């Protein structure tokens, strides 16, 4: 583990709000996406913004700024002073966007690919970030909406027959898939067939609160904050999340772990390459938004930002200008089928680029090929022994 040390540091504050109430229900057609927005500022937001908050709530005749209640017309009337304030506090933003259906596909792929449970997956395939992502992308490509919904129920209730049925359908689609690399097809076929034969072993773990979009988004946010601040001389000195009844306890537990370590996602990263970090220098606070300047502002910003995806807001130029300001200061973290495909394509390009720019000398190449062949022989031997054991049992 690497430890990153800094001598002297400056403080930022972070305020996070969620959009929508989702929990473990992934298939509500009226809410296919789950969003969070986070305001990050290097100044004390509460101290700097209390006077402005009082002026705006008095002007609007409201007790708090809450976008759903205010609507576009009222927000339009305060958009200009909000924009000025965001500039004054040098605000930056992180948005996380979760495609809820894709969570089921991703969990199915991860369940099948876990080398600690599936003997057809070597530790190399599962331990390498690049290989694991490329294999996940290939499996998710085979998944259909009916599989997502069925698997989410199977995963919640540990139903091996249901998993066997899903994997059997995936195997049929894999065999009908044209254009896939021969070795990749062979590996995926072994992986899926082993799962069909041993579905109970793959269901060692069951669905829990950590699988909810809320917690997936929270993990993306923490990684995103670290990416922004790492090496900048800044740390998070205050972290406030809007009141969360169902998941607040789990967020605190996740924060307690995530504030200390970071898992890199570069081309050569391994599952064991966990770095010690010191990005977070505070406890997380989970508070109601009433009276908290940062939470009320990010509530409005997130509501507008989501709306701007499909609405240009031409009738509300103040709101449009505010979102243009925010977008120029924002980073977005997506967890979706499209993002997985883009990540897989990026990794494939990186691999090809590395091969062209840094060709491996002949002896090292031969040694590497021998290692790969040994790993593949060991994997195949395990599968052969497994089939023999099953045949003997019959």
Q: What is the DSSP string of 188-244?
A: HHHHHHHHHH-HHHHTSS---GGGSHHHHHHHHHHHHHHHHHTTTTEEEEEEEEE--
Mean pLDDT value across the chain? 88
- 36 in Cβ contact with 19 (< 8 Å): yes
Per-residue pLDDT at 272: 82
Asked if residue 94 lies in contact with residue 228, where contact means CB atoms within 8 angstroms, the answer is yes
Judged on CB neighbours under 10 Å (0-12, 13-18, 19+), 214 is buried
Distance CA 178, CA 168 (A): 18
The neighbour count for residue 381, using CB atoms within 10 Å, is 10
Note the residue count of the chain.
Answer: 394
Predicted TM-score (pTM) of this structure: 0.86
Kindly state the tokens that stand for 244. Answer: 């969360």
pLDDT value at residue 343: 93
Alpha carbon distance 25, 101 (integer Å)? 9
- Give how far the C-alpha of residue 239 lies from the chain's centroid of Cα atoms, to the nearest Å: 19
* Predicted local distance difference test score (pLDDT) of residue 358: 56
Q: What pLDDT was estimated at residue 7?
A: 45
Q: Encode pLDDT of 8-34 as tens digits.
A: 569 999 999 998 766 889 999 989 999
Ranges of residues in the chain whose predicted pLDDT is under 50: 1-7, 365, 368
What does the pLDDT read at residue 3?
41
Strand partners, 246: none
| pLDDT for the residue 177 | 86
Question: Residue 354, Cβ neighbours under 10 Å: how many?
Answer: 13
Reduce the DSSP state of residue 44 to 3 states and report it: coil
Closest CA to 292 of 11, 34, 45, 3: 45
CATH architecture entry for 10-100+210-338: 2-Layer Sandwich (3.30)
DSSP codes joined into one string, 293-339: HHHHHHHHHHHHHHHHTT---TT-HHHHHHHHHHHTTEEEEEESHHH
Q: Record the tokens describing residue 169, joined without a space.
A: 């359908």
pLDDT of residue 363: 57
Q: What is the DSSP string of 112-129?
A: HH-TTT-TTS-HHHHHBH
Query: What pLDDT was estimated at residue 390?
Result: 57
User: What's the pLDDT tens digit per position in 237-290?
Assistant: 999 999 987 888 889 999 998 999 998 887 778 888 888 999 999 999 999 999
- Residues near 170 by Cβ (< 8 Å), separated by ≥ 6? 139, 142, 143, 147, 192
Determine contact, residues 114/126, Cβ cutoff 8 Å: yes
The reported pLDDT for the residue numbered 65 is 96
pLDDT of residue 6: 43
Residue 342 in contact with residue 133, Cβ under 8 Å?
no
Q: So where are the chain's domains? A: 10-100+210-338, 365-394
């Amino acid at each position: 583990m690497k430890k990153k040390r800094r001598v002297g540091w400056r403080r930022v504050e972070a305020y996070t709000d969620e959009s929508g109430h989702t929990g473990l229900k992934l298939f509500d057609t009226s809410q296919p996406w789950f969003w969070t927005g986070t305001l990050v500022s290097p100044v004390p937001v509460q101290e700097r913004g209390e006077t402005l908050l009082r002026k705006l709530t008095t002007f609007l005749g409201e007790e708090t700024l809450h976008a759903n209640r205010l609507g576009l017309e009222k927000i339009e009337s305060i958009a200009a002073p909000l924009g000025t304030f965001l500039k004054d506090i040098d605000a930056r933003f992180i948005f996380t966007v979760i495609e809820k259906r894709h969570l089921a596909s991703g969990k199915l792929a991860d369940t099948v690919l876990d080398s600690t449970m599936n003997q057809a997956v070597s530790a190399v395939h599962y331990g390498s970030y690049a290989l694991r992502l490329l294999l996940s992308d290939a499996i998710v490509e085979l998944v259909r909406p009916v599989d997502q919904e069925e698997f989410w129920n199977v995963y919640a209730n540990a139903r091996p027959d249901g998993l066997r049925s899903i994997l059997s359908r995936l195997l049929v689609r894999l065999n009908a898939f044209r254009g896939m690399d021969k070795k990749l097809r062979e590996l995926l076929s072994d992986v899926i067939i082993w799962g069909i034969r041993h579905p109970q072993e793959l269901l060692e773990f069951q669905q829990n609160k950590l699988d909810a979009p809320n917690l997936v988004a929270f993990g993306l946010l923490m990684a995103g904050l670290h990416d922004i601040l790492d090496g900048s001389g800044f740390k998070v000195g205050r972290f406030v999340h809007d009141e969360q009844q169902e998941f607040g306890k789990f967020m605190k537990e996740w924060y307690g772990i995530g504030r200390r370590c970071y898992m890199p996602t570069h081309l050569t990263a391994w599952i064991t390459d966990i770095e010690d970090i010191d990005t977070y220098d505070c406890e997380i606070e989970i508070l109601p938004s009433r009276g908290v300047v940062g939470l009320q502002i990010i509530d409005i910003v997130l509501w507008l930002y989501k709306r701007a995806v499909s609405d240009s807001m031409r009738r509300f130029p103040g709101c449009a200008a505010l979102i243009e300001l925010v977008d120029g200061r924002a980073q977005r973290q997506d967890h979706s089928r499209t993002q997985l495909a883009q990540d897989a394509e990026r990794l494939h390009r990186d691999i090809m680029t590395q091969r062209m720019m840094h060709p491996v000398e002949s002896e090292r190449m031969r040694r590497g090929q021998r290692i790969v062949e040994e790993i593949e022989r060991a994997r195949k031997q395990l599968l052969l022994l497994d089939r023999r054991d099953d045949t003997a049992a019959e």
